[in-house]
Structure 1
Amino acid sequence: MLKRLSIKIVILFLYFSPLALLAQTHVDNIRKKLYDKSSKEVLVVAHRGDWRYAPENSLAAIENAIKMGVDIVEIDIQKTKDGRLILMHDKTLDRTTTGKGAVSTWTLDSIRNLNLRNGAAIRTIHKVPTLEEALLLSKGKIMLNLDKAYNVFDEVYALLEKTGTVDHIIMKGTAPSQKVKEQFGKYLDKVIYMPIVNLDKPNAQKMIDDFIKELNPVAFELLYVKDANPLPKTLANSLKGKSLIWYNTLWDTMAGGHDDDMSLKDPEKGYGYLIKELNARIIQTDRPQYLIDYLKKIRRK
Protein backbone atom coordinates (compact mmCIF):
# COMPACT_ATOMS: atom_id res chain seq x y z
CA MET A 1 0.00 0.00 0.00
CA LEU A 2 2.79 2.38 0.99
CA LYS A 3 4.71 1.50 -2.17
CA ARG A 4 1.69 2.30 -4.36
CA LEU A 5 1.20 5.61 -2.57
CA SER A 6 4.86 6.50 -3.13
CA ILE A 7 4.56 5.71 -6.83
CA LYS A 8 1.46 7.91 -7.11
CA ILE A 9 3.27 10.80 -5.39
CA VAL A 10 6.21 10.47 -7.79
CA ILE A 11 3.85 10.38 -10.80
CA LEU A 12 2.02 13.49 -9.58
CA PHE A 13 5.33 15.26 -8.99
CA LEU A 14 6.57 14.41 -12.49
CA TYR A 15 3.27 15.52 -14.00
CA PHE A 16 2.94 18.85 -12.25
CA SER A 17 6.56 19.97 -11.82
CA PRO A 18 7.17 20.59 -15.57
CA LEU A 19 4.03 22.76 -15.61
CA ALA A 20 5.28 24.79 -12.67
CA LEU A 21 8.69 25.10 -14.30
CA LEU A 22 7.10 26.20 -17.56
CA ALA A 23 5.07 28.87 -15.73
CA GLN A 24 8.25 30.33 -14.28
CA THR A 25 10.32 30.07 -17.45
CA HIS A 26 8.74 32.97 -19.34
CA VAL A 27 9.58 35.56 -16.67
CA ASP A 28 13.07 34.09 -16.33
CA ASN A 29 13.55 34.39 -20.09
CA ILE A 30 12.32 37.98 -20.13
CA ARG A 31 14.72 38.90 -17.34
CA LYS A 32 17.55 37.19 -19.21
CA LYS A 33 16.82 39.34 -22.27
CA LEU A 34 16.64 42.49 -20.14
CA TYR A 35 20.06 41.79 -18.67
CA ASP A 36 21.59 40.96 -22.07
CA LYS A 37 22.99 44.37 -22.95
CA SER A 38 23.83 43.23 -26.47
CA SER A 39 20.39 41.73 -27.09
CA LYS A 40 19.01 41.82 -30.61
CA GLU A 41 15.49 40.87 -29.50
CA VAL A 42 12.76 43.45 -28.91
CA LEU A 43 10.57 43.18 -25.81
CA VAL A 44 6.94 44.28 -26.12
CA VAL A 45 5.27 46.33 -23.38
CA ALA A 46 1.47 46.67 -23.36
CA HIS A 47 0.36 50.06 -22.03
CA ARG A 48 -2.23 49.47 -19.26
CA GLY A 49 -2.68 45.94 -20.59
CA ASP A 50 -4.51 45.11 -23.80
CA TRP A 51 -7.11 47.83 -23.28
CA ARG A 52 -8.59 47.33 -26.75
CA TYR A 53 -9.76 43.91 -25.58
CA ALA A 54 -10.85 44.83 -22.02
CA PRO A 55 -10.81 48.00 -19.87
CA GLU A 56 -7.39 49.45 -19.06
CA ASN A 57 -5.80 48.17 -15.86
CA SER A 58 -8.25 45.28 -15.65
CA LEU A 59 -7.32 41.66 -14.99
CA ALA A 60 -8.78 40.70 -18.38
CA ALA A 61 -6.54 43.26 -20.12
CA ILE A 62 -3.48 41.77 -18.42
CA GLU A 63 -4.60 38.22 -19.14
CA ASN A 64 -5.08 38.88 -22.84
CA ALA A 65 -1.65 40.50 -23.03
CA ILE A 66 -0.22 37.31 -21.53
CA LYS A 67 -2.10 35.17 -24.08
CA MET A 68 -0.79 37.19 -27.04
CA GLY A 69 2.81 36.85 -25.86
CA VAL A 70 3.54 40.31 -24.45
CA ASP A 71 6.67 40.50 -22.28
CA ILE A 72 5.78 43.36 -19.92
CA VAL A 73 2.52 45.04 -18.92
CA GLU A 74 2.49 48.61 -17.66
CA ILE A 75 -0.08 49.16 -14.91
CA ASP A 76 -0.96 52.09 -12.64
CA ILE A 77 -1.42 52.13 -8.88
CA GLN A 78 -3.74 54.19 -6.66
CA LYS A 79 -4.52 53.94 -2.93
CA THR A 80 -8.02 53.73 -1.47
CA LYS A 81 -9.36 55.43 1.66
CA ASP A 82 -8.75 52.26 3.69
CA GLY A 83 -5.19 51.90 2.44
CA ARG A 84 -5.65 49.23 -0.25
CA LEU A 85 -3.63 49.39 -3.47
CA ILE A 86 -5.70 49.08 -6.63
CA LEU A 87 -5.08 49.29 -10.37
CA MET A 88 -6.16 52.66 -11.73
CA HIS A 89 -4.48 55.40 -13.74
CA ASP A 90 -6.45 58.46 -12.64
CA LYS A 91 -6.72 59.85 -9.12
CA THR A 92 -10.48 59.96 -9.67
CA LEU A 93 -12.96 57.23 -10.59
CA ASP A 94 -14.92 59.26 -13.12
CA ARG A 95 -13.26 58.33 -16.44
CA THR A 96 -12.68 54.60 -16.01
CA THR A 97 -15.50 53.46 -13.71
CA THR A 98 -19.20 53.97 -13.01
CA GLY A 99 -18.27 55.90 -9.84
CA LYS A 100 -17.33 59.52 -9.22
CA GLY A 101 -14.85 61.29 -7.00
CA ALA A 102 -11.32 60.74 -5.72
CA VAL A 103 -10.08 57.18 -5.25
CA SER A 104 -8.72 58.26 -1.87
CA THR A 105 -12.25 58.98 -0.58
CA TRP A 106 -13.61 55.50 -1.41
CA THR A 107 -13.02 52.25 0.47
CA LEU A 108 -12.14 49.10 -1.45
CA ASP A 109 -15.50 47.48 -0.63
CA SER A 110 -17.32 50.45 -2.16
CA ILE A 111 -15.11 50.44 -5.26
CA ARG A 112 -15.84 46.73 -5.69
CA ASN A 113 -19.48 47.65 -6.34
CA LEU A 114 -18.47 49.73 -9.38
CA ASN A 115 -17.91 48.56 -12.94
CA LEU A 116 -15.04 49.49 -15.20
CA ARG A 117 -15.70 51.47 -18.38
CA ASN A 118 -13.99 50.63 -21.67
CA GLY A 119 -12.13 53.02 -23.98
CA ALA A 120 -15.44 54.29 -25.36
CA ALA A 121 -16.69 55.04 -21.81
CA ILE A 122 -19.17 52.14 -21.98
CA ARG A 123 -19.96 50.24 -18.76
CA THR A 124 -18.54 46.71 -18.78
CA ILE A 125 -18.84 43.62 -16.57
CA HIS A 126 -15.26 44.07 -15.33
CA LYS A 127 -14.37 45.17 -11.79
CA VAL A 128 -11.48 47.21 -10.38
CA PRO A 129 -8.70 44.80 -9.33
CA THR A 130 -6.30 45.11 -6.42
CA LEU A 131 -2.57 45.14 -7.02
CA GLU A 132 -2.33 41.82 -5.18
CA GLU A 133 -4.78 40.21 -7.59
CA ALA A 134 -2.77 41.52 -10.55
CA LEU A 135 0.47 40.18 -9.07
CA LEU A 136 -1.02 36.72 -8.54
CA LEU A 137 -2.44 36.65 -12.07
CA SER A 138 0.90 37.70 -13.57
CA LYS A 139 3.11 35.44 -11.45
CA GLY A 140 5.49 33.45 -13.62
CA LYS A 141 3.81 34.65 -16.82
CA ILE A 142 4.68 38.28 -17.44
CA MET A 143 6.69 41.16 -15.99
CA LEU A 144 5.03 44.32 -14.69
CA ASN A 145 6.07 47.95 -15.00
CA LEU A 146 4.45 49.72 -12.04
CA ASP A 147 3.56 53.35 -12.69
CA LYS A 148 2.43 55.82 -10.03
CA ALA A 149 3.80 53.45 -7.38
CA TYR A 150 6.92 55.33 -6.32
CA ASN A 151 5.37 57.13 -3.33
CA VAL A 152 3.78 53.97 -1.94
CA PHE A 153 6.54 51.56 -2.78
CA ASP A 154 7.10 50.38 0.80
CA GLU A 155 3.53 49.06 0.74
CA VAL A 156 3.96 47.74 -2.80
CA TYR A 157 7.09 45.85 -1.80
CA ALA A 158 5.27 44.14 1.07
CA LEU A 159 2.82 42.75 -1.50
CA LEU A 160 5.64 41.70 -3.81
CA GLU A 161 7.21 39.68 -1.01
CA LYS A 162 3.85 38.22 -0.01
CA THR A 163 3.10 37.07 -3.56
CA GLY A 164 6.65 36.06 -4.49
CA THR A 165 6.84 38.52 -7.39
CA VAL A 166 9.75 40.80 -6.44
CA ASP A 167 11.66 39.70 -9.55
CA HIS A 168 8.69 40.48 -11.81
CA ILE A 169 8.80 44.25 -11.30
CA ILE A 170 10.21 47.22 -13.23
CA MET A 171 10.14 50.71 -11.74
CA LYS A 172 10.97 53.89 -13.65
CA GLY A 173 11.39 57.55 -12.82
CA THR A 174 12.72 60.93 -13.96
CA ALA A 175 14.81 61.79 -10.88
CA PRO A 176 18.62 62.13 -11.20
CA SER A 177 20.79 59.24 -10.07
CA GLN A 178 21.75 60.68 -6.68
CA LYS A 179 18.13 61.26 -5.72
CA VAL A 180 17.18 57.74 -6.83
CA LYS A 181 19.92 56.32 -4.63
CA GLU A 182 18.69 58.35 -1.66
CA GLN A 183 14.97 57.62 -2.07
CA PHE A 184 14.94 54.14 -3.62
CA GLY A 185 18.35 52.80 -2.66
CA LYS A 186 17.25 49.93 -0.43
CA TYR A 187 15.33 48.39 -3.34
CA LEU A 188 17.92 48.82 -6.12
CA ASP A 189 19.40 45.34 -5.64
CA LYS A 190 15.94 43.75 -5.61
CA VAL A 191 13.81 45.54 -8.20
CA ILE A 192 14.80 46.63 -11.72
CA TYR A 193 14.92 50.43 -11.94
CA MET A 194 15.02 52.23 -15.29
CA PRO A 195 15.71 55.99 -15.57
CA ILE A 196 13.49 58.09 -17.83
CA VAL A 197 15.48 60.76 -19.68
CA ASN A 198 14.03 63.55 -21.81
CA LEU A 199 16.60 63.99 -24.56
CA ASP A 200 15.32 67.47 -25.38
CA LYS A 201 16.57 68.79 -22.03
CA PRO A 202 20.08 70.29 -21.86
CA ASN A 203 21.24 67.97 -19.05
CA ALA A 204 20.16 64.74 -20.79
CA GLN A 205 23.61 63.42 -21.64
CA LYS A 206 24.93 64.18 -18.15
CA MET A 207 22.00 62.35 -16.56
CA ILE A 208 22.73 59.29 -18.66
CA ASP A 209 26.46 59.41 -17.90
CA ASP A 210 25.75 59.74 -14.16
CA PHE A 211 23.37 56.78 -14.14
CA ILE A 212 25.79 54.55 -16.03
CA LYS A 213 28.59 55.46 -13.64
CA GLU A 214 26.59 55.16 -10.41
CA LEU A 215 23.78 52.65 -11.01
CA ASN A 216 24.57 50.79 -14.24
CA PRO A 217 20.87 50.53 -15.23
CA VAL A 218 19.49 47.65 -17.27
CA ALA A 219 17.83 50.14 -19.65
CA PHE A 220 16.91 53.77 -20.21
CA GLU A 221 13.54 55.05 -21.33
CA LEU A 222 14.30 57.85 -23.78
CA LEU A 223 11.95 60.62 -24.90
CA TYR A 224 12.35 63.17 -27.69
CA VAL A 225 9.99 65.22 -29.86
CA LYS A 226 11.70 65.57 -33.26
CA ASP A 227 14.36 63.76 -35.28
CA ALA A 228 16.31 67.03 -35.50
CA ASN A 229 17.64 66.12 -32.04
CA PRO A 230 20.98 64.32 -32.65
CA LEU A 231 21.07 62.53 -29.26
CA PRO A 232 18.84 59.53 -30.15
CA LYS A 233 21.24 58.40 -32.89
CA THR A 234 24.28 59.17 -30.75
CA LEU A 235 22.93 57.09 -27.88
CA ALA A 236 21.97 54.25 -30.20
CA ASN A 237 25.72 53.70 -30.58
CA SER A 238 27.12 54.89 -27.24
CA LEU A 239 24.75 52.78 -25.11
CA LYS A 240 25.47 49.54 -26.98
CA GLY A 241 26.79 47.00 -24.53
CA LYS A 242 25.99 49.30 -21.60
CA SER A 243 22.20 49.63 -21.33
CA LEU A 244 19.17 48.73 -23.42
CA ILE A 245 16.95 51.45 -24.88
CA TRP A 246 13.20 51.72 -24.24
CA TYR A 247 10.92 53.89 -26.38
CA ASN A 248 7.21 54.64 -26.01
CA THR A 249 5.11 54.74 -29.18
CA LEU A 250 1.91 55.85 -27.46
CA TRP A 251 1.89 59.25 -29.16
CA ASP A 252 4.07 61.21 -31.56
CA THR A 253 5.95 63.51 -29.18
CA MET A 254 7.41 60.61 -27.19
CA ALA A 255 9.56 59.11 -29.94
CA GLY A 256 10.14 61.73 -32.62
CA GLY A 257 6.87 60.97 -34.38
CA HIS A 258 7.67 57.26 -34.81
CA ASP A 259 4.59 56.24 -32.85
CA ASP A 260 1.78 53.70 -33.18
CA ASP A 261 -0.09 55.88 -35.65
CA MET A 262 2.90 56.20 -37.97
CA SER A 263 3.49 52.46 -37.60
CA LEU A 264 -0.07 51.68 -38.68
CA LYS A 265 0.57 53.65 -41.86
CA ASP A 266 4.13 52.40 -42.40
CA PRO A 267 5.63 50.12 -39.71
CA GLU A 268 9.14 50.56 -41.14
CA LYS A 269 8.99 54.31 -40.51
CA GLY A 270 7.54 53.74 -37.04
CA TYR A 271 8.68 50.63 -35.17
CA GLY A 272 11.30 49.82 -37.80
CA TYR A 273 13.07 53.16 -37.42
CA LEU A 274 13.21 52.87 -33.63
CA ILE A 275 14.56 49.32 -33.79
CA LYS A 276 16.97 49.58 -36.71
CA GLU A 277 18.16 53.18 -36.45
CA LEU A 278 17.83 53.93 -32.72
CA ASN A 279 18.57 50.43 -31.38
CA ALA A 280 15.32 50.20 -29.38
CA ARG A 281 15.10 46.86 -27.59
CA ILE A 282 11.99 47.62 -25.51
CA ILE A 283 8.89 49.26 -27.00
CA GLN A 284 5.79 50.26 -25.06
CA THR A 285 2.73 50.38 -27.27
CA ASP A 286 -1.04 50.74 -27.28
CA ARG A 287 -1.14 48.17 -30.10
CA PRO A 288 0.76 45.15 -28.73
CA GLN A 289 -0.61 42.60 -31.21
CA TYR A 290 0.31 44.80 -34.17
CA LEU A 291 3.86 45.21 -32.84
CA ILE A 292 4.18 41.47 -32.15
CA ASP A 293 3.06 40.70 -35.72
CA TYR A 294 5.60 43.18 -37.10
CA LEU A 295 8.42 41.64 -35.05
CA LYS A 296 7.51 38.16 -36.31
CA LYS A 297 7.57 39.45 -39.87
CA ILE A 298 11.03 41.02 -39.65
CA ARG A 299 12.44 37.92 -37.92
CA ARG A 300 11.44 35.85 -40.94
CA LYS A 301 13.41 38.08 -43.32
Structure 2
Amino acid sequence: MNQLKSKFLELLKSKDFLILLHRGAHGGNIVENTANAVNIALREGADIVEIDISMSTDGDFFVFHDGGERRLLDDSRNINTLSTTEIEEKYYYNELGHVLHKKVERFSKLLENIPQDVFLNIDRSWGHWETFIPYLDQFVDRHPYFMLKSPVKKELLDILDKHPIKYMYFPIIYNTDELDLLETYENINLVGFEVIEKDESFEFIISQRFDKYKQSDYMFLANAINLDDDTLLFGLLTDEVAITRDPDEAWGEMLKMGINTIQTDWVDLLLRYRDTRDKK
Protein backbone atom coordinates (compact mmCIF):
# COMPACT_ATOMS: atom_id res chain seq x y z
CA MET A 1 0.00 0.00 0.00
CA ASN A 2 1.23 3.49 -0.82
CA GLN A 3 1.98 5.01 2.60
CA LEU A 4 0.53 8.35 1.58
CA LYS A 5 -2.94 6.86 1.49
CA SER A 6 -2.86 4.58 4.54
CA LYS A 7 -4.36 7.18 6.90
CA PHE A 8 -7.07 8.04 4.41
CA LEU A 9 -8.02 4.39 3.95
CA GLU A 10 -8.33 4.05 7.71
CA LEU A 11 -10.78 6.95 7.68
CA LEU A 12 -12.70 5.55 4.71
CA LYS A 13 -13.18 2.19 6.42
CA SER A 14 -14.21 3.74 9.73
CA LYS A 15 -17.37 5.52 8.52
CA ASP A 16 -20.63 4.55 6.87
CA PHE A 17 -19.69 7.25 4.35
CA LEU A 18 -17.45 10.30 4.39
CA ILE A 19 -18.59 13.92 4.43
CA LEU A 20 -16.69 16.47 2.35
CA LEU A 21 -17.57 20.11 2.96
CA HIS A 22 -17.51 22.47 -0.01
CA ARG A 23 -15.06 25.39 0.54
CA GLY A 24 -15.26 24.93 4.30
CA ALA A 25 -17.99 26.22 6.60
CA HIS A 26 -18.93 29.77 5.67
CA GLY A 27 -21.63 32.30 6.43
CA GLY A 28 -21.93 35.69 8.08
CA ASN A 29 -18.41 37.05 8.46
CA ILE A 30 -16.79 33.61 8.05
CA VAL A 31 -15.52 33.58 4.47
CA GLU A 32 -15.15 30.45 2.35
CA ASN A 33 -11.64 29.18 1.59
CA THR A 34 -10.11 30.49 4.80
CA ALA A 35 -8.54 28.86 7.85
CA ASN A 36 -11.62 29.81 9.86
CA ALA A 37 -13.83 28.03 7.32
CA VAL A 38 -11.69 24.89 7.54
CA ASN A 39 -11.58 24.85 11.34
CA ILE A 40 -15.32 25.37 11.71
CA ALA A 41 -15.93 22.63 9.13
CA LEU A 42 -14.01 20.23 11.35
CA ARG A 43 -16.02 21.29 14.41
CA GLU A 44 -19.23 20.70 12.49
CA GLY A 45 -18.16 17.16 11.62
CA ALA A 46 -16.61 17.23 8.14
CA ASP A 47 -14.20 14.39 7.36
CA ILE A 48 -12.59 16.19 4.43
CA VAL A 49 -12.56 19.91 3.59
CA GLU A 50 -12.38 21.29 0.08
CA ILE A 51 -10.22 24.31 -0.67
CA ASP A 52 -9.46 26.04 -3.97
CA ILE A 53 -6.10 27.28 -5.21
CA SER A 54 -5.28 30.33 -7.31
CA MET A 55 -1.86 31.69 -8.24
CA SER A 56 -0.70 35.29 -8.52
CA THR A 57 1.31 36.46 -11.50
CA ASP A 58 4.32 36.38 -9.16
CA GLY A 59 3.83 32.65 -8.58
CA ASP A 60 2.42 32.84 -5.04
CA PHE A 61 -0.43 30.50 -4.11
CA PHE A 62 -3.64 31.76 -2.54
CA VAL A 63 -6.74 29.94 -1.30
CA PHE A 64 -9.48 31.30 -3.54
CA HIS A 65 -11.87 29.98 -6.18
CA ASP A 66 -11.38 32.12 -9.25
CA GLY A 67 -14.70 33.34 -10.61
CA GLY A 68 -15.79 34.59 -7.20
CA GLU A 69 -13.92 37.88 -7.39
CA ARG A 70 -16.94 40.15 -7.91
CA ARG A 71 -18.92 38.49 -5.14
CA LEU A 72 -16.12 38.26 -2.58
CA LEU A 73 -13.70 41.06 -3.51
CA ASP A 74 -15.84 43.55 -5.48
CA ASP A 75 -13.43 43.17 -8.39
CA SER A 76 -14.17 42.01 -11.94
CA ARG A 77 -10.60 40.81 -12.62
CA ASN A 78 -9.66 37.15 -12.40
CA ILE A 79 -7.43 36.61 -9.38
CA ASN A 80 -4.94 34.63 -11.46
CA THR A 81 -4.20 37.80 -13.46
CA LEU A 82 -3.32 39.82 -10.35
CA SER A 83 0.07 40.29 -8.72
CA THR A 84 0.71 39.24 -5.14
CA THR A 85 0.63 42.89 -4.07
CA GLU A 86 -2.72 43.45 -5.79
CA ILE A 87 -4.24 40.37 -4.16
CA GLU A 88 -2.96 41.28 -0.71
CA GLU A 89 -4.47 44.76 -1.01
CA LYS A 90 -7.98 43.34 -1.48
CA TYR A 91 -10.48 42.95 1.39
CA TYR A 92 -13.24 40.37 1.55
CA TYR A 93 -16.94 41.22 1.50
CA ASN A 94 -19.42 39.19 3.54
CA GLU A 95 -22.69 37.68 2.32
CA LEU A 96 -24.52 40.96 3.01
CA GLY A 97 -22.10 42.87 0.80
CA HIS A 98 -20.31 44.57 3.70
CA VAL A 99 -16.55 44.96 3.54
CA LEU A 100 -14.58 43.04 6.18
CA HIS A 101 -11.13 43.39 7.69
CA LYS A 102 -10.20 39.96 6.28
CA LYS A 103 -8.03 39.32 3.24
CA VAL A 104 -7.36 36.43 0.86
CA GLU A 105 -5.08 33.94 2.59
CA ARG A 106 -1.91 32.46 1.19
CA PHE A 107 -1.97 28.68 1.09
CA SER A 108 1.02 28.52 3.41
CA LYS A 109 -0.67 30.82 5.93
CA LEU A 110 -3.84 28.73 5.90
CA LEU A 111 -1.77 25.63 6.69
CA GLU A 112 -0.22 27.38 9.67
CA ASN A 113 -3.68 27.92 11.16
CA ILE A 114 -5.38 24.55 10.70
CA PRO A 115 -4.63 21.12 12.23
CA GLN A 116 -1.93 19.05 10.60
CA ASP A 117 -4.16 16.01 10.24
CA VAL A 118 -7.05 17.55 8.30
CA PHE A 119 -7.67 15.93 4.92
CA LEU A 120 -7.72 18.67 2.29
CA ASN A 121 -9.38 18.17 -1.06
CA ILE A 122 -7.24 20.60 -3.07
CA ASP A 123 -9.39 21.79 -5.96
CA ARG A 124 -8.80 24.22 -8.83
CA SER A 125 -5.02 23.84 -8.54
CA TRP A 126 -4.50 21.87 -11.74
CA GLY A 127 -3.82 24.93 -13.90
CA HIS A 128 -0.69 25.49 -11.82
CA TRP A 129 0.48 21.91 -11.25
CA GLU A 130 3.89 22.33 -12.86
CA THR A 131 4.83 24.63 -9.99
CA PHE A 132 2.20 23.87 -7.35
CA ILE A 133 2.90 20.15 -6.95
CA PRO A 134 6.65 20.68 -6.36
CA TYR A 135 5.69 23.49 -3.97
CA LEU A 136 3.71 20.98 -1.88
CA ASP A 137 6.83 18.90 -1.31
CA GLN A 138 8.07 21.23 1.46
CA PHE A 139 5.09 20.39 3.70
CA VAL A 140 6.36 16.92 4.53
CA ASP A 141 4.16 16.20 7.55
CA ARG A 142 1.04 17.02 5.56
CA HIS A 143 1.74 14.78 2.56
CA PRO A 144 -0.64 12.03 3.80
CA TYR A 145 -3.46 14.61 4.04
CA PHE A 146 -3.19 16.33 0.66
CA MET A 147 -5.74 15.08 -1.90
CA LEU A 148 -5.38 16.43 -5.43
CA LYS A 149 -8.30 16.60 -7.83
CA SER A 150 -8.48 17.46 -11.53
CA PRO A 151 -10.23 16.69 -14.78
CA VAL A 152 -8.86 13.66 -16.62
CA LYS A 153 -6.37 15.15 -19.08
CA LYS A 154 -3.19 13.55 -20.35
CA GLU A 155 -1.00 16.55 -19.60
CA LEU A 156 -2.16 16.54 -15.97
CA LEU A 157 -1.79 12.79 -15.53
CA ASP A 158 1.73 13.05 -16.95
CA ILE A 159 2.68 15.53 -14.21
CA LEU A 160 1.36 13.23 -11.49
CA ASP A 161 2.97 10.19 -13.06
CA LYS A 162 6.43 11.76 -13.18
CA HIS A 163 6.44 13.51 -9.82
CA PRO A 164 8.48 11.52 -7.24
CA ILE A 165 6.07 12.14 -4.35
CA LYS A 166 2.86 10.29 -5.07
CA TYR A 167 0.17 12.51 -3.61
CA MET A 168 -3.30 11.05 -3.30
CA TYR A 169 -5.35 11.73 -6.41
CA PHE A 170 -8.97 11.40 -7.39
CA PRO A 171 -10.13 12.58 -10.82
CA ILE A 172 -13.32 14.32 -11.84
CA ILE A 173 -14.57 11.69 -14.26
CA TYR A 174 -17.46 11.73 -16.72
CA ASN A 175 -17.17 8.67 -18.96
CA THR A 176 -15.43 5.40 -19.81
CA ASP A 177 -13.01 7.06 -22.23
CA GLU A 178 -11.56 9.01 -19.33
CA LEU A 179 -11.38 5.84 -17.25
CA ASP A 180 -9.55 4.12 -20.12
CA LEU A 181 -6.95 6.90 -20.19
CA LEU A 182 -6.56 6.89 -16.43
CA GLU A 183 -5.93 3.15 -16.39
CA THR A 184 -2.90 3.52 -18.68
CA TYR A 185 -0.99 5.15 -15.80
CA GLU A 186 0.56 2.83 -13.23
CA ASN A 187 2.44 5.37 -11.09
CA ILE A 188 -0.44 7.53 -9.95
CA ASN A 189 -1.69 7.18 -6.38
CA LEU A 190 -5.36 6.81 -7.28
CA VAL A 191 -7.61 6.80 -4.20
CA GLY A 192 -10.99 7.31 -5.81
CA PHE A 193 -13.22 9.17 -8.23
CA GLU A 194 -15.56 12.13 -8.29
CA VAL A 195 -18.17 10.72 -10.63
CA ILE A 196 -20.20 13.28 -12.58
CA GLU A 197 -23.65 12.20 -13.78
CA LYS A 198 -25.38 14.75 -15.99
CA ASP A 199 -28.73 12.98 -16.22
CA GLU A 200 -30.95 10.61 -14.26
CA SER A 201 -29.79 7.36 -15.83
CA PHE A 202 -26.66 7.02 -13.66
CA GLU A 203 -25.32 4.56 -16.22
CA PHE A 204 -21.68 5.33 -15.48
CA ILE A 205 -21.60 4.91 -11.71
CA ILE A 206 -23.57 1.63 -11.87
CA SER A 207 -21.61 0.25 -14.84
CA GLN A 208 -19.41 -2.83 -14.57
CA ARG A 209 -16.37 -0.68 -15.31
CA PHE A 210 -16.32 0.38 -11.68
CA ASP A 211 -16.90 -3.07 -10.21
CA LYS A 212 -13.25 -3.85 -9.51
CA TYR A 213 -12.84 -0.51 -7.76
CA LYS A 214 -16.01 -0.91 -5.70
CA GLN A 215 -14.73 -4.27 -4.50
CA SER A 216 -11.55 -2.59 -3.25
CA ASP A 217 -10.91 0.41 -1.03
CA TYR A 218 -11.64 3.37 -3.31
CA MET A 219 -13.53 6.56 -2.65
CA PHE A 220 -16.59 7.15 -4.82
CA LEU A 221 -17.61 10.77 -4.41
CA ALA A 222 -20.92 12.27 -5.48
CA ASN A 223 -21.22 16.03 -5.52
CA ALA A 224 -24.56 16.98 -3.99
CA ILE A 225 -24.00 20.74 -4.00
CA ASN A 226 -26.31 23.06 -5.92
CA LEU A 227 -24.22 25.47 -8.00
CA ASP A 228 -27.48 26.86 -9.42
CA ASP A 229 -30.90 25.57 -10.48
CA ASP A 230 -29.68 23.99 -13.71
CA THR A 231 -26.20 22.46 -13.29
CA LEU A 232 -26.40 18.73 -12.60
CA LEU A 233 -23.40 17.13 -10.90
CA PHE A 234 -25.09 13.90 -9.85
CA GLY A 235 -28.37 13.86 -11.68
CA LEU A 236 -31.24 15.33 -9.69
CA LEU A 237 -29.85 13.98 -6.41
CA THR A 238 -28.84 17.19 -4.65
CA ASP A 239 -28.53 18.81 -1.26
CA GLU A 240 -31.67 20.80 -1.98
CA VAL A 241 -33.74 17.66 -2.45
CA ALA A 242 -32.23 16.13 0.69
CA ILE A 243 -32.86 19.08 2.98
CA THR A 244 -36.22 20.31 1.67
CA ARG A 245 -37.86 16.94 1.04
CA ASP A 246 -36.20 13.79 2.38
CA PRO A 247 -32.51 12.90 2.74
CA ASP A 248 -33.27 9.34 1.61
CA GLU A 249 -34.47 10.74 -1.74
CA ALA A 250 -31.04 12.19 -2.53
CA TRP A 251 -28.21 11.22 -0.18
CA GLY A 252 -29.74 7.80 0.43
CA GLU A 253 -30.08 7.08 -3.29
CA MET A 254 -26.43 8.01 -3.80
CA LEU A 255 -25.36 5.50 -1.17
CA LYS A 256 -27.38 2.73 -2.83
CA MET A 257 -25.25 3.18 -5.97
CA GLY A 258 -21.99 2.62 -4.12
CA ILE A 259 -21.18 6.22 -3.30
CA ASN A 260 -19.17 6.37 -0.07
CA THR A 261 -18.30 10.09 0.03
CA ILE A 262 -20.72 13.00 -0.40
CA GLN A 263 -19.68 16.58 -1.03
CA THR A 264 -22.16 18.97 0.52
CA ASP A 265 -22.84 22.53 1.61
CA TRP A 266 -24.87 21.24 4.59
CA VAL A 267 -22.46 19.23 6.71
CA ASP A 268 -24.48 19.41 9.93
CA LEU A 269 -27.60 17.96 8.33
CA LEU A 270 -25.65 15.30 6.45
CA LEU A 271 -23.85 14.34 9.67
CA ARG A 272 -27.20 14.02 11.43
CA TYR A 273 -28.38 11.78 8.59
CA ARG A 274 -25.27 9.61 8.89
CA ASP A 275 -25.71 9.32 12.65
CA THR A 276 -29.34 8.27 12.14
CA ARG A 277 -28.33 5.58 9.63
CA ASP A 278 -25.65 4.29 12.00
CA LYS A 279 -28.24 3.76 14.73
CA LYS A 280 -30.60 1.74 12.53
Q: TM-score, normalised to structure 2's length?
A: 0.82
| Equivalent position of 2:149 in the other structure | 172
CA distance in 1, matches of 2:81, 2:15: 47
Gaps of 5+ in 1: 1-26, 199-203
Per-residue CA deviations over 1:53-77 (Å, capped at 9, x if unaligned) read: 6211122111111222312111111
Q: Does 1:270 align with 2:250?
A: yes
| Equivalent position of 1:112 in the other structure | 88
Change (3 A) 1:104 1:30: closer
Asked if the contact 1:246/1:283 (under 8 Å) is kept, the reply is: yes
| Matches for 1:224-239 after TM superposition, within 5 Å | 224-234=197-207, 237=211, 239=213
Instruction: Name the amino acid aligned to 1:298.
Output: R
CA distance in 1, matches of 2:137, 2:43: 25
Gaps of 5+ in 2: none
CA distance in 2, matches of 1:269, 1:227: 13
CA distance in 1, matches of 2:38, 2:90: 19
**Shift in Å, 1:192:** 0.9
Q: Does 1:298 align with 2:272?
A: no
Over alpha carbons, which structure has the higher Rg?
Answer: 1
| Equivalent position of 1:13 in the other structure | none
Which structure has the highest helix share of the two? 1
**Shift in Å, 1:295:** 0.8
| Matches for 1:30-45 after TM superposition, within 5 Å | 30-34=8-12, 41-45=16-20
Q: Does 1:208 align with 2:179?
A: yes
Instruction: Name the amino acid aligned to 1:194.
Output: F
**What is the aligned residue count?**
265
Change (3 A) 1:179 1:109: closer
Instruction: Name the amino acid aligned to 1:32.
Output: E
CA distance in 2, matches of 1:263, 1:117: 29
**How much identity, in percent, do the aligned residues show?**
22
Per-residue CA deviations over 1:217-238 (Å, capped at 9, x if unaligned) read: 3211111123224333335755
| Equivalent position of 1:284 in the other structure | 263
Per-residue CA deviations over 1:163-213 (Å, capped at 9, x if unaligned) read: 33222211122225x554423212375211112221xxxxx2343355346
* SS, match of residue 113 in structure 2: helix
**Shift in Å, 1:122:** 3.5
Change (3 A) 1:209 1:102: closer
Q: Does 1:60 align with 2:36?
A: yes
| Equivalent position of 2:221 in the other structure | 246
CA distance in 2, matches of 1:56, 1:221: 21
Asked if the contact 2:19/2:48 (under 8 Å) is kept, the reply is: yes
Instruction: Name the amino acid aligned to 2:215.
Output: G
Q: Does 1:219 align with 2:204?
A: no
CA distance in 1, matches of 2:77, 2:180: 43
Asked if the contact 2:161/2:185 (under 8 Å) is kept, the reply is: no
Per-residue CA deviations over 1:106-157 (Å, capped at 9, x if unaligned) read: 4334433332123444333322100111223334231111222113224323
* SS, match of residue 231 in structure 1: coil
Q: Which moved more, 1:236-245 or 1:88-97?
A: 236-245
| Equivalent position of 1:143 in the other structure | 119
Per-residue CA deviations over 1:218-259 (Å, capped at 9, x if unaligned) read: 211111123224333335755322433111001361111111
CA RMSD, aligned part only? 2.7
Q: Which moved more, 1:290-299 or 1:226-235?
A: 226-235
Asked if the contact 2:17/2:260 (under 8 Å) is kept, the reply is: yes
